Amino acid sequence: MDNFRNIGLIGRLGSTKVIDTLKHLIRFLDEQGLTPILDEKIAAVMPGHGQQTSSSRLMGEVCDLVVVVGGDGSLLGAARNLAQSNVPVLGVNRGNLGFLTDISPAEIEEKVGEVLNGQYTVDRRFLIDVLVKRNGEPIGESTGLNDCVLHPGKSARMIQFELYIEGQFVYTQRSDGLIVATPTGSTAYALSGGGPIMHPRLDALVLVPMFPHTLSSRPIVVDGNSELKLVISDNNETYPTVSCDGQKHINCAPGDTITIHKKPHKLKLLHPLSHNFYKTCREKLGWATKLGE
């Protein structure tokens, strides 16, 4: 356990199950002689916890490992704060699907213990940076681990926009918007929009049109290092929104440009040795098992 001494703990707010799991983790880490450091937001709803605290943004600087307790949404939020520090992140599932948070509460001591003892695999997941400009001036920026989505916001009208990849014009499209997803996000919103499942190790982005007016508009998979640019047409009557991971939102206007490219820093995501991407797909997506099983 020499590599992991200070263990950051982040949890989803508003869940008693998450609090119970965090208390269990704190007891377990104390027994191992390690130092738990609680995210200050979750610490505020755990009176008398008696632990050190830190903001989620600084946790990557003071911790050797960060454990996120919640669903994939909780880990997405943590990833945007922690990717730049290169601190390894481990997920305990207290949500629904759990593609990213893959340790169940029932096996928490066994699996977390294995990771603490160096028995784990490492996924390096890339994120995407998004910059919105108006009249050439930046008006908003954000980061996503799963995806960046251009959508109508509260309006039910279609959006018209132009797509450029590496400076080359691709098409003008009228649709409900566009999902730009990483391999991590290919099993999230992009999947429900008809996009392909991409293995997490792929260096690629998938662009999934949302209810396009032209039926021949299909998902496109491009190199992960591509720079994408969306130009919202001037004749739009609506003011669309750009959302990252469904958690960060930027309000746009006709004429705005949206630039999307790979973030230079990656998330260092740990898994127990028993983790298997295809097994996760079978369990979470209801794929059939072998005949006779």
Query: Is 203 within any annotated ligand binding site?
Result: no
Query: Is 214 within any annotated ligand binding site?
Result: no
Considering only CA atoms, which of 132, 147, 139 is closest in space to residue 72? 147
Query: Is 204 within any annotated ligand binding site?
Result: no
Residue from 2, 30, 64, 72 carrying the catalytic annotation: 72
At 40, list the tokens: 């200050």
Query: Is 2 within any annotated ligand binding site?
Result: no
Query: Is 187 within any annotated ligand binding site?
Result: yes
- Tell me how far apart the alpha carbons of residues 59 and 37 are, in angstroms, rounded to a whole number: 8
First vs last C-alpha separation in the chain = 38
Query: Is 125 within any annotated ligand binding site?
Result: no
Query: Is 146 within any annotated ligand binding site?
Result: yes
Q: What is the dihedral of CA 148, 153, 156, 160, to 10 degrees?
A: -50
- Tell me how far apart the alpha carbons of residues 194 and 65 are, in angstroms, rounded to a whole number: 35
Query: Is 174 within any annotated ligand binding site?
Result: yes
Query: Is 129 within any annotated ligand binding site?
Result: no
Strand-strand pairing, 52-54 and 35-39: parallel
Examine the residue annotation and report whether 129 is marked as an active-site residue of this protein. no
How far CA 149 is from CA of 208, 242, 260, in Å, comes to 9, 6, 11
Query: Is 164 within any annotated ligand binding site?
Result: no
Query: Is 155 within any annotated ligand binding site?
Result: no
Residue 155 φ/ψ, nearest 5 degrees: -85, 155
Query: Is 245 within any annotated ligand binding site?
Result: no
Helix axes 108-116, 16-31, angle to 10 degrees: 50
Catalytic residues: 72
Sequence ranges of the binding site for NAD(+): 72-73, 146-147, 157, 174, 176, 187-192, 247
Sequence ranges of the binding site: 72-73, 146-147, 157, 174, 176, 187-192, 247
